[in-house]
Amino acid sequence: MDFSRRKFLGAGVLCQEIPLRPPWAQAESLFQEACTRCGDCVRHCPEGILIQDNASSYPSVDFAKGECTFCGDCVDACPSTALQRHEAEPWPYKAKLNHRCLTEQQVVCLSCAEQCEVSAISWQHQAKKVSKPIINIELCTGCGACVASCPTQAIEVKS
Ligand code: SF4
Ligand code: SF4
Ligand code: SF4
């Protein structure tokens, strides 16, 4: 295996191993140090999108269950410094399309864009083909509203 391949696999494994943490979470190492795994954030999320991993018990976000409204209830409920409000963006997550989008098979689908409150999803018109979605990552808040609406799991939210 050449070096560039090893680097690619290494980065891929790292991305897969770190779950999406609740909004306003500290950097992963600080988060894990501070979080007591009490589950208070999970219990206080009105959208029910936070889960506790069976193995580690650390909280993470499951966008299959819904979207984050950035209400901050999880932060307010957190008794530790694991989640802390700050002025910057609540998290570095953005939506990303994968190859499973129905428009790749020339099937018309508008579901994801209809869910996006900040209109981050627009349509790229293609001659004699179905228009396909494009995500403007400057506008995308990573809220995940588009994720559950997609019938083919073609949208993932990633750091
Ligand atoms: S900000 Fe609100 S909706 Fe988002 S994870 Fe926290 S409690 Fe749930
Ligand atoms: S994650 Fe939220 S803001 Fe981003 S494209 Fe999806 S619905 Fe829009
Ligand atoms: S909802 Fe899914 S399948 Fe439909 S256009 Fe959006 S990404 Fe493609």
pLDDT (tens digit per residue) in 63-112? 999 999 999 999 999 999 999 999 999 999 999 999 999 999 999 999 99
Question: Domain of 130: which CATH number?
Answer: 3.30.70.20
User: Cα dist. 113→110, 119, 120, 158 in Å?
Assistant: 6, 7, 8, 18
Residue 136 included in any domain: yes
Please give the number of the atom of ligand 1 that sits closest to the Cα of 48. 8
Of residues 20, 16, 19, the one with CA closest to residue 93: 20
**Tokens representing residue 1 in the block:** 């295996």
Model confidence pTM above 0.95: no
- For residue 96, what are the β-bridge partners? 156
85 Cα to the center of ligand 3, angstroms: 32
Instruction: Give residue-wise pLDDT tens across range 99-115.
Output: 999 999 999 999 999 99
pLDDT digits (tens, 9 = 90+) for 12-50: 444 456 899 999 999 999 999 999 999 999 999 999 999
Are 62 and 103 within one domain? no
Nearest-atom number in ligand 2 for the CA of 95 is: 1
- Domain of 17 in residue numbering reads as 3-77
Query: Domains in the chain: how many in total?
Result: 2
Kindly report the protein residue whose alpha carbon is nearest to atom 4 of ligand 1: 68
Q: Does residue 49 sit in the same domain as residue 111?
A: no
